[in-house]
Structure 1
Amino acid sequence: MTIIRSLLLFVLAALAEIGGAWLIWQGWRENRGLWWIAAGIVALGAYGFVATLQPDANFGRILAAYGGVFVAGSLAWGMVVDKFRPDRWDLIGAAICLIGVAVIMYAPRTSA
């Protein structure tokens, strides 16, 4: 249950951060206006809070693992929202990142 909760929080964090950055991009680069930028800032703030809900207490570990989720999530966002087509190297890189997430977050650890 803890792993499932952690994975869901990573997905939620990715949606908030990537979505927030995308909203700011749309507001600024695509001239959609300040409301898009404001919504992006709110979403990015939400991302910061979602990370605090992870069951692991180590900030560095959470952020390091989230980096891999961000890489894969960014490609997925691009595919769904912007119709981006990743090549095999994009997909291999994202898979490597997700393996890193699994090792960092879910490898068995002994108490020291």
Structure 2
Amino acid sequence: MEIAKTFGLFVITAVAEIVGCYLPYLWLKQGGSIWLLVPAAISLVAFVWLLTLHPHAAGRVYAAYGGVYVSVALLWLWAVDTVRPTVTDWVGVGVVLIGMAIIMFGPRHA
């Protein structure tokens, strides 16, 4: 159960980070309203706060978060930007998730 909870927290953290970066992109590059910076700032504050909820905010946890972030970013590309990921995109996500699993579940030396 702890793994599912941590994974869910990773997903929520990734969404907060992506939203916090995507909204300024819409303002700067797509001609969006400057008011997009308000929810972007709130989202980035939420992202930082969510990072503090992770059990160990360093090292392996951040490496594992990176794998989830890449996966969520690809899903964002598909769902929000309506760009269908390629086969190599999905293979890349698989490689990242395998790497994440190796880091998180590999043997530990005392």
TM-score (norm 1): 0.87
Superposition RMSD in Å: 1.7
* Cα displacement (A) at 1:95: 0.9
* Cα displacement (A) at 1:66: 1.3
1:46-75 CA-partner distances (Å, limit 9, x unpaired): 1111122122x2512222211111111111
Give yes or no for the alignment of 1:74 onto 2:73. yes
Distance 1:58 1:38, change over 3 A: closer
The residue that corresponds to 2:45 in the other structure is: 45
Letter in structure 2 aligned against 1:103: I
The residue that corresponds to 1:59 in the other structure is: 58
How far apart, in 1, do the equivalents of 2:15 and 2:88 lie? 23
Matched residue SS, 1:97: helix
The residue that corresponds to 1:21 in the other structure is: 21
How far apart, in 2, do the equivalents of 1:37 and 1:29 lie? 13
TM-score (norm 2): 0.88
How far apart, in 1, do the equivalents of 2:81 and 2:20 lie? 15
Contact map agreement 1:27 1:33 (CA 8 A) in 2: yes
Gapped runs of 5+ residues in structure 1? none
Letter in structure 2 aligned against 1:85: R
* Cα displacement (A) at 1:29: 1.2
* Cα displacement (A) at 1:10: 0.5
* Cα displacement (A) at 1:111: 6.9
The residue that corresponds to 1:34 in the other structure is: 34
The residue that corresponds to 1:86 in the other structure is: 85
- Runs of 4 or more, structure 1, over 4 Å off, are 108-111
Q: State, as a whole percentage, how many aligned pairs show the same letter.
A: 37
How many aligned residue pairs are there? 110
